[in-house]
Structures are given as C-alpha cells and as structure tokens.
C-alpha cells in the first residue's frame, strides 16, 4: 500500500507544483524555495544533537514555541530544525524562534513525502529525533526515520472521530505507519484511544493534556495589551469586539452582527483579523463596500471615533489583541473548518463566542462551555444577541471571562509532561 501511495504521490507532483504556482498569485512566497520541498538543503556542518520539529502552519508553530524554549534552556548544546509547509508558518517560525535560540535554529520547508525527497534531506541534516506537532503524519517520512534509527514522537496529538474514520478507511496504509511512531503524547484519553484502535501499540501512547493551555502571559505582553486597549478605547472608553482568525464566509456573518450591534452601541469598535494574509485586501474591500469606516493596522495610526473597523493585517499580534478587547469571536467555526485556538482569549479572561464547527478543539470547547466561559452560536442573529447580552451586562461578561481563565489555569501542565517524554526519547 505504501508503494502504491508513493507512485500516486509522484503522479500528483505536477499538480502540486501547479497549485503552489497558483497560490503564489496572492502570496508570492509560495513560488520560492521549491528546492527545499524536494529535500535539497545544505549539509549541516555541526555534529551537535539536532531535534527536528515539524509544524505545518502558524497554529502548530506557535504551539511548539514554549516546548522548544523550555528544552533549549535545559539543553543549550541541542540544535533545532523546524520545518513548516506554508509561508505563514515559515514567517512565524523565523520571527518567533530566532530571538529565542539564535544560531541554533535551522528552518526549511518540509520535504515532500517521497523517498527521493526525504532521503537527501535527512542525509544532509542528520536529525537525532523527529517531533511532529498534532496530526501531520506521512508514511514515507516515518518509514525512513525508522529505517535510519531516528526516534519519532507525535506531540500534542489530537484525533477526532472524523479523522479516525478517515484513517480507518485506509487501514492497510495507516496501521504500518502508526507502528513506526515511537511515542504519541495525545491531548486527551479519547484521542489516545482512537490511536490505539487504529493500530498503535497501547504502551506507546500517553494522554497528557493540551500544551496550548500552558500559555504564559508575560508582564511585557500584558503591558503592551494595556497600551493597545487605551489606544483603541480612547477617552470615551468605547467597547472593543475582536473577531479573530476568520475565514471566507465568516466576515459577512460578523459584519451582519456588527451592524446590528451598532444600533444599540454606536461607538463599538470591531477589530477584524482574517486567518490568512492573502485575504487582507478582499476583507478590506468587503468592509468598505458596507460603508464602514476602516483603518488598517499596517497603515499605522490609531482608530478615531469615526472608525468602525480596525483590520488586523499584521502578523504575530493576535495574542496581544486578545488582551486588549472586551469580547472575542474565534473563527473557523461558523464555516466547517473546525475552529481555532479559543484558549488564548480564555487565558486573558475574555469571554468567547464560536460557531458550531469545533471538531479541532472539541474537548477544549466543551470544557469552556461547561464552565460558562464560552457560547456557541449558529448565525449572525445569535452572534449579535449573545454579544449584546454581554455588552449590556458588565458583571456577567466579566464573570464569563473569569470562568474561562479558570479553565485555562486548571488544565495547564501538559507542556512539562511532553518535555519529559521528549527528553526520555532522546536518552534512548
């Protein structure tokens, strides 16, 4: 089955390259560094231990940062190879990790899952361990690592019922692939059980919680958010609603709800942050088409009383944005994407609203819902109604935010458990 998969992958390479070129129309970075995707990278001169961390895009990259930071402090002789698959993930990896570990960081795009791409990549860099963040599993990559004696660990692993059913349909490919993993550190027992049911030996999996709960809000970050809050609210103390990580089809719903809210709260400021940079311009046009006075964050300047929407079209600022708002909507949930990280606003004590599509964060979402720190809505009317309730009731809004903060604090600790598993695997 892996041989068949490999030949099908080879046949698809021209289409994959065409897709990269096509996506490069909106995001030119997709048209660069193709040699890396085929495994052609410079040979590493150093003989220091090298930990290879693969994080697909922005979310996985940011989840890996505290893990790398903690281990880099404990093991200053280790080097780090971080691979991503998208330009936004690449940009975040360099921007966030370079200041933390400096010259110990190597960064490339991950090679395609073909033997002729993986082998030269591994030969040139000689990693001592591969850590994959969440669910990015590739049959040839894991087979090659097993052949070379490179231990592999799946970190912060999650496996929804839908994803497990997909793997089960290709059991003859998935089971041998999973058995190549030396260790799976799953988020929750339900995730661990699904891996076992798919063929992973039970003794290789442990449930440790979600490392995204181990979010540290530094005094510096808190201070930056307070400055933002003061700038956005102005002298009148206007309320601020943050709609974060939105996808196509969600901005229209958000703006419909916003226009209803303006009828009762005319000074409300909407901070709108699309998930993907290539959509910044189209979202700006959408806001202007509704005659909503818009300020782009990248233009500099502060939102004045006449501005209705602040478009968050910069990278790496979302966490401090959460600390500067009164209410948060987390996107990827009103459309069938599966939701994005609602732990971040909860950790700030900000009440959260999401849509019904939450399978990427199903356990986290249920914890927040049960505690009263998050609400689920279906459409613009319900979204506006829930936000209106919180805007009318300061005490209720603060209580909901505090319940979310408590959930975030109570579920921390997964990071230390994951770090311990990685250290044990490196010793082996």
Catalytic amino acids? 60
CA distance 363 to 204: 22
- Do 359 and 335 touch, CB atoms closer than 8 A? no
Distance from C-alpha of 95 to C-alpha of 62, rounded to nearest angstrom: 11
Backbone angles phi, psi at 351, to 5 degrees: -65, 145
Residue from 80, 117, 116 nearest 101 by CA? 80
Return d(Cα 269, Cα 306) in angstroms, integer: 10
Strand partners, 50: 79
DSSP-assigned letters across all residues of 269-293: EEEEEESSGGGHHHHHHHHHHTT--
- Full strand arrangement of the beta sheet holding 294-296: 294-296, 309-311, 269-274, 240-246, 327-330, 352-354, 374-376
The two three-digit tokens of residue 395, written as one number? 């005490």
86, 276 in Cβ contact below 8 A? no
The number of helices, as runs of H, and strands, as runs of E, in the chain is 18, 14
DSSP 8-state assignment for residue 117? H
Q: Is residue 109 within 8 Å of 91, Cβ to Cβ? A: no
């Amino acid at each position: 089955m892996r041989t068949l998969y490999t030949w099908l992958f080879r046949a698809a390479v021209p289409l994959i390259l065409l897709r990269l070129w096509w996506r490069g129309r909106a995001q030119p970075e997709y048209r660069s560094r193709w040699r890396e995707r085929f495994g052609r990278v410079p040979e590493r001169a150093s003989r220091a231990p090298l930990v290879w961390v693969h994080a697909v895009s922005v979310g996985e990259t940011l989840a890996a940062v505290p893990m790398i930071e903690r281990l880099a402090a404990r093991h200053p002789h280790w080097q780090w190879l971080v691979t991503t698959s998208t330009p936004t993930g690449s940009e975040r990896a360099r921007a966030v990790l370079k200041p933390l570990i400096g010259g110990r960081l190597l960064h490339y795009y991950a090679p395609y899952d073909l033997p002729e791409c993986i082998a030269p990549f591994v030969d040139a860099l000689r990693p001592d361990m591969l850590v994959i963040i969440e669910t990015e599993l590739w049959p040839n990559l894991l087979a090659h690592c097993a052949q070379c004696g490179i231990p592999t660990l799946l970190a912060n692993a999650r496996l929804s019922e839908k994803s497990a059913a997909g793997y089960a349909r290709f059991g003859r490919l998935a089971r041998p692939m999973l058995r190549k993993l030396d260790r799976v550190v799953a988020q929750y027992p339900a995730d661990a059980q699904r891996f076992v049911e798919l063929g992973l030996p039970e003794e290789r999996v442990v449930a440790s919680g979600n490392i995204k709960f181990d979010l540290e809000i530094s005094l510096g970050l808190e201070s930056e958010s307070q400055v933002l809050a003061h700038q956005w609210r102005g002298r009148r103390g206007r309320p601020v609603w943050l709609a974060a990580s939105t996808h196509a089809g969600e901005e229209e719903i958000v703006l419909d709800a916003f226009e209803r809210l303006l009828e009762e709260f005319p000074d409300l400021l909407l901070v709108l942050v699309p998930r993907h940079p290539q959509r910044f311009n189209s979202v700006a046009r959408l806001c202007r088409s509704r005659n909503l006075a818009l300020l782009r964050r990248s233009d500099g300047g502060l939102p004045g009383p006449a501005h209705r929407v602040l478009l968050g079209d910069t990278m790496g600022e979302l966490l401090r944005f959460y600390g500067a708002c009164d209410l948060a909507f987390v996107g990827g949930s009103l459309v069938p994407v599966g939701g994005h990280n609602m732990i971040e606003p909860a950790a700030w004590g900000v009440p959260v609203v999401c849509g019904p599509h939450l399978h990427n964060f199903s356990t986290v979402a249920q914890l927040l819902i049960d505690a009263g720190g998050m609400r689920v809505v279906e459409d613009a009317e319900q979204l506006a109604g829930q936000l209106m309730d919180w805007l009318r009731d300061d005490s209720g809004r603060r209580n909901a935010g505090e319940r979310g903060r408590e959930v975030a604090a109570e579920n921390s600790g997964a990071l230390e458990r994951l770090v311990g598993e990685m250290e044990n695997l490196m010793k082996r």
